[in-house]
Amino acid sequence: VSRSRPAAVVVLAAGEGTRMVSALPKVLHQLAGRSLLAHAVAAAQDLLPEHLVVVVGHGREAVRQHLALVAPEVIAAEQDEVPGTGRALRCGLAALPPLEGTVVVTYGDVPLLGTQTLDDLVDQHQRSADAVTVLTSRPVDPGAYGRVVRDPTGAVTAIVEVRDASAEQAAIREVNTGVYAFDASFLSGALSRLDKGNAAGEEYLTDVVSIARADGLGVGALLLADPVEAEGVNDRTQLAALGRVLRDRIVGGWMRAGVTVVDPETTWLDVDVELAPDVTLLPGTHLLGRTTVAAGATVGPDTTLLDCTVGGGASVVRSHCVRSDIGEGASVGPFSHLRPGTSLGAEGKIGAFVETKSSQIGAGSKVPHLSYVGDATIGVGTNVGAATVVVNFDGVDKHRTRIGDHVRIGSDTMLVAPLTVGDGAYTAAGSVITEDVPAGAMAVGRARQRIIPGWVARKRAGTASDLAAARATGQRAEGGDQAGPGHQGQAPGSGRTEERDQ
Ligand code: UD1
Ligand code: CA
């Protein structure tokens, strides 16, 4: 590396962001699982600056708290009541000792600015003798961006805000991105010379450019290849637009790394997600937080995983899973809800319409249909029959259930916690199990079945059921001529009324 570490990066984030129309400070809105500010801070951190400062103002308490959480090493400096980007930078530098070397300035609401671009900017700045190097761009619509004014030799002489610009200046297509590299000793002097003599009544950081030229110092410019990198978020439409760009970047990166993404436009991946080669993501998949998916696994369609791990070769279909671990070769869904603390062992199964929470389900064990499993530990090779419920809540407290290895829980069993079911035990379908079941035992907890012969003929005479039963048993139904609804095309109800009336 030919360049030296910047002395500081200062991220300006004190602006108000009224167009978001939000109780949340603008820079705390999220893209791909990270706040706008955290995106900017991450890019700054990659430059390995000696100091990293964020200038806070509007929503300062919330922004400070957020920074303490996501980047505790960052210094939060407060802007005073004087408005403007120049003032913001001055307040940021006031939090640091006197600096030598390069100071980089970026914005907290510009989330797509890449580390490579910042690197290039610092590199060009340090190779030159310039006091300032400005990152510029040529967007399709120069809008309200500051215009980059050059002299006939092409040297940058000033940055002029649109509200202060002549018609000729306003027609300039090259604009200021607001990202700069400065020579630190020049900068501190220049900032103290800013005034508010402009249309906005603010201390403009951009005036530092003309100050440099007045002092006979050089001003360089680096033209950004892709203007989107410097786009800021001012409203929620722009937030969504940059979100799509970021999605395409992230998804594109994983496709190049060997992940099959069937429908990139409906696949949303947070920045910290990790995927192995030969993972397949089907349409409508959202992988959030620190989710990781191992080789050969398939996720989707229509699946959300937040902070989950998915083992190699596993499949997760149309499900919603949070803070759960899905083992190698295991399968989940369709239509299941894995709540925090679920772990499913290798080759295990959580099938359709199953909800789980704080439960460990061992290797090869299956909960295939329509069940709730909460606060339970299940061994290996166990099968939990359809519609089983682990009754973990007594109305006041939650209790744990332990189910051993190779257990067979009959369909529709209620397992009332606290409860232990020993290895190899069975429960009868439809049981309410309230006491521990020893290993190898069968537990039956239900009323014995009774048969009341001829009940339908006596109590439901003349109904379709009665007629069907009569046909099956070869007996003539009372009061009927054996012509059921099916024979005369009548609706079931009307047949019954007619026969009653006869
Ligand atoms: C500024 C530039 C303009 C450039 C544009 C790029 C100035 C005078 N103008 O425009 O040339 O094209 O950025 O987006 O610098 N901020 C503070 N404190 C303040 C004001 C702003 O911290 O008092 C922060 C904001 O939070 C934001 C950034 O500075 O992150 C830019 O503020 P914004 O008001 O959007 O920029 P402009 O001044 O309009
Ligand atoms: Ca802006």
Residues 6+ apart with CB under 8 A from 351: 331, 333, 336, 366, 367, 368, 369
Tell how far the Cα of 148 is from the centroid of ligand 1, in angstroms.
15
Helices then strands (H, E): number in the chain?
Answer: 12, 41
Alpha helix segments (H runs only) across 95-183 = 115-127, 167-170
Closest alpha carbon to 299 in 342, 266, 272, 250: 266
Closest alpha carbon to 13 in 60, 49, 45: 60
Mean pLDDT value across the chain: 95
Q: Catalytic residue numbers?
A: 369
Kindly indicate the confidence band of residue 476, based on its pLDDT and cuts at 50, 70 and 90.
confident
pLDDT at 485 over 60: no
Tell how far the Cα of 107 is from the centroid of ligand 2, in angstroms.
9
Structure confidence at residue 438 (pLDDT): 98
Q: Is the CB of 160 under 6 A from ligand 1?
A: no
| Among the bound ligands, the one closest to the CA of 36 | 1
Surface-to-core class of residue 421, CB atoms within 10 Å of its CB (0-12 exposed, 13-18 middle, 19+ buried)? buried
Q: Is the CB of 161 under 6 A from ligand 1?
A: yes
Q: Is 45 helix (H, G, I), strand (E, B) or coil?
A: helix
Structure confidence at residue 66 (pLDDT): 98
Kindly indicate the confidence band of residue 74, based on its pLDDT and cuts at 50, 70 and 90.
very high
* Mean pLDDT in residue range 422-446: 98
Tell the residue nearest (CA) to atom 36 of ligand 1: 85
Q: Is the CB of 83 under 6 A from ligand 1?
A: yes
Closest alpha carbon to 11 in 59, 33, 44: 44
Tell the residue nearest (CA) to atom 13 of ligand 1: 178
Structure confidence at residue 55 (pLDDT): 98
Structure confidence at residue 478 (pLDDT): 61
Structure confidence at residue 502 (pLDDT): 37
Tell the residue nearest (CA) to atom 25 of ligand 1: 15
| Among the bound ligands, the one closest to the CA of 13 | 1
Q: Is the CB of 375 under 6 A from ligand 1?
A: no
Q: Which atom of ligand 1 is nearest to the CA of 177?
A: 6
Q: Is 121 helix (H, G, I), strand (E, B) or coil?
A: helix
* Mean pLDDT in residue range 425-443: 98
Tell how far the Cα of 17 is from the centroid of ligand 1, in angstroms.
11
pLDDT at 496 over 90: no
Structure confidence at residue 205 (pLDDT): 98
pLDDT in tens, 37-55: 999 999 999 999 999 999 9
Tell the residue nearest (CA) to atom 34 of ligand 1: 15
Q: Is the CB of 137 under 6 A from ligand 1?
A: no
Residue matched to tokens 């603008």 = 26
Q: Poorest-confidence range of 182-186, 406-410, 477-481?
A: 477-481
Closest alpha carbon to 429 in 441, 444, 450: 444
pLDDT at 288 over 50: yes
* Mean pLDDT in residue range 213-217: 98
Phi, psi of 275 (to 5 degrees): -125, 145
Kindly indicate the confidence band of residue 479, based on its pLDDT and cuts at 50, 70 and 90.
low
Is the N-terminal amide bond of 49 cis, ω within 30° of 0?
A: no
Q: Is 439 helix (H, G, I), strand (E, B) or coil?
A: coil
CA–CA separation, 420 vs 253, rounded Å? 48
* Mean pLDDT in residue range 313-339: 98
Q: Is the CB of 194 under 6 A from ligand 1?
A: no
Q: Is 104 helix (H, G, I), strand (E, B) or coil?
A: strand
Q: Which atom of ligand 1 is nearest to the CA of 11?
A: 30
Structure confidence at residue 475 (pLDDT): 81
Q: Would you give the DSSP letter of residue 28?
A: G
* Mean pLDDT in residue range 291-298: 99
Q: Is the CB of 85 under 6 A from ligand 1?
A: yes
Q: Which atom of ligand 1 is nearest to the CA of 12?
A: 22
Please state, as a whole number, how many other Cβ atoms lie within 10 Å of the Cβ of residue 397: 9
pLDDT in tens, 183-205: 999 999 999 999 999 999 999 99
Is the N-terminal amide bond of 334 cis, ω within 30° of 0?
A: yes
* Mean pLDDT in residue range 49-62: 97
Q: Is the CB of 206 under 6 A from ligand 1?
A: yes
| Among the bound ligands, the one closest to the CA of 137 | 1
Q: Is the CB of 379 under 6 A from ligand 1?
A: no
Surface-to-core class of residue 454, CB atoms within 10 Å of its CB (0-12 exposed, 13-18 middle, 19+ buried)? exposed
CA–CA separation, 414 vs 312, rounded Å? 33
pLDDT in tens, 381-395: 999 999 999 999 999
Describe the strand order of the beta sheet including 355-357 as a list of residue ranges.
268-269, 285-288, 303-306, 320-322, 337-338, 355-357, 372-374, 389-391, 414-416, 432-433
Given a contact cutoff of 8 angstroms between Cβ atoms, the answer to whether 426 and 408 are in contact is: yes
Q: Is the CB of 131 under 6 A from ligand 1?
A: no
Q: Which atom of ligand 1 is nearest to the CA of 17?
A: 26
Q: Which residue has the higher pLDDT, 247 or 480?
A: 247
Q: Which atom of ligand 1 is nearest to the CA of 109?
A: 30
Tell how far the Cα of 85 is from the centroid of ligand 1, in angstroms.
5
Put simply, whether the predicted model's pTM sits higher than 0.75 gets the answer: yes
Tell how far the Cα of 205 is from the centroid of ligand 1, in angstroms.
8
Kindly indicate the confidence band of residue 491, based on its pLDDT and cuts at 50, 70 and 90.
very low
Of the residues 16, 39, 55, 85, which should be mutated to test ligand 1's pocket, given the most ligand atoms within 8 Å of the CB? 85
